[in-house]
Structure 1
Amino acid sequence: MSNLDELVQVVTARRRELGRPTVVGISGFGGSGKSTLARRLVAALPDAVRLRGDDFLDPVRVHRRSADWDGVERDRLVADVLRPFRDEVAGEFQRYDWDRGRLTEPEPVPRADVLVIDLVGLFHPTTLPLLDLAVWCEIDLWTATQRGIARDRDDGNDHDRVWTEVWEPNERDFDERFAPREVADVLFPTR
């Protein structure tokens, strides 16, 4: 897959094939362009919504070393959003508010034809069964990490140590343990 138009066609075909609301998971290494691709995809699809993966990170655990991206709150994501969305039942979820340091008030699970979520560590046995299409942002770990560091610096955040001592090693461990690139339905270049 080489461009957004092709990805839109794949998502549209999957939605038509399933005949129900469709969950598109976009994952990749930190700094690989997941959020940018998710925003572009939602803008190109009729009746699509984006769910920010950062809303499902534990603010303490995400800064710790783990072999499975333990800081990703997959159980909460599955129970509160993915299942209700796919089953077309009412539900509520809470986002993590990074500015206030707490979960927000509950809000309704969005209704749409397509839900796009972008998140590190998304292609995990807990979440994979609820993803109708898994899109991997194809870029090497070193380049993605350098992009992430540069982005954070541009935003006035110095996370260099966390990137090199926690997030990059977490990515390596997760990749070795769960092979997210190999389980993806689509490899999308984000170079």
Structure 2
Amino acid sequence: MAAEVPGVEPERQLAGGVSRLDVAEIAALTGQSGRQGRPTLVGVEGFGGAGKTVFARRLGQLLGSFHLVHLDDFIVPGVVSNEDKTDFDRGQLARRVLEPARRGELREYQTLTDSAGGSGTWVSVPQVRHLIVEGVSAYHPELRHYYHHRIWVDAPMTVARERARQRDLRRGIYDRDLWDAWERSEISYKAKYLPHLRCDIVYDNTVESANLRCVDE
């Protein structure tokens, strides 16, 4: 659905009915449609390092009643990242999360793998008004129809890559070769599937907003 926001300046109204909004405006827009038991589904995409997770958490905090799903919980072990992002099992995401959520029947779901690469863990989902799904290919064409809102977190690859590098260095897990391959696949994915144009809202996170820094990563 296109984001029609009264009072938004013309320069923030992009082609195709897409609006460039700040996080408070996005919360006001998405908060209009959620209801307990049958949540509004919000898909959040952007490059790795663009700030998707932090943005999604902050948006959820502003909405007040939300559950956050990470596409990283549906990574297929051993599959190399590519332009189609088949390293994510979107079919399982749809069957385990999106379809029951649209029916108002989502109470729990099993992730594809745990953090150690073993059998997935079960995640309980409270009764919430908003379900936010964040990750690269979250609203891939296979999944686009499930969402009420689709948000592109915009940051240039150079900015996103440096953020990801700093994050991984803090965790002691930075692998330059892995990120080189990941960068190529993300640029190819964006060029092929145009997620920055297939959204209804763009959030500009080129300069990380002070409104997001208060949220723990």
Q: Please provide the CA RMSD for this pair.
A: 1.8
- Which of 132, 135, 150 is matched with 2:166 structurally? 150
- 1:121 and 2:140 matched: no
Q: Is 1:133 paired with 2:113?
A: no
CA distance in structure 2 between the partners assigned to 1:106 and 1:20 by the alignment = 20
Superposition deviation, residue 136 in structure 1: 0.2
The answer for unaligned runs of 5 or more in structure 2 is: 1-19, 207-217
1:7 to 2:22 alignment: no
Q: Which residue of 2 aligns with 1:41?
A: 59
Residue 65 of structure 1 deviates from its aligned partner by 4.1
Equivalent residue letter for 1:10? L
CA deviation vs aligned residue, 1:39-80 (integer Å, no higher than 9, x gap): 10111112111112211112321xx14221111110000010
Q: Tell me whether 1:174 sits opposite 2:193 in the alignment.
A: no
- Normalising by structure 1, we get a TM-score of 0.89
For residues 109 and 83 of structure 1, what CA distance do their matches in structure 2 show? 14
Offset of 1:104 from its aligned partner?
A: 2.8
- Whether the 8 Å contact between 2:67 and 2:130 is mirrored in structure 1 is yes
Q: Across the two proteins, how many residue pairs are aligned to each other?
A: 185
Shift of the 144–105 alpha-carbon distance from structure 1 to 2, 3 Å rule, reads closer
Identity %: 28
Q: Deviations over 1:123-164 (max 9, x none)?
A: 311111111100000111221112112211111112221111
Kept in 2: contact 1:81–1:91 (CA 8 A): no
> Whole-Å Cα distance in 1 between the matches of residues 96 and 142 of structure 2?
13
TM-score (norm 2): 0.79
Q: Which has the higher helix share?
A: 1
2:69 counterpart residue number:
51
Secondary structure of 1:15 counterpart:
coil
Query: Using the alignment, how far apart are the partners of 1:50 and 1:65 within structure 2?
Result: 23
Q: Distance in 2 between matches of 1:72 and 1:45?
A: 27
SS, match of residue 87 in structure 2: coil
Say which one has the larger Rg. Answer: 2
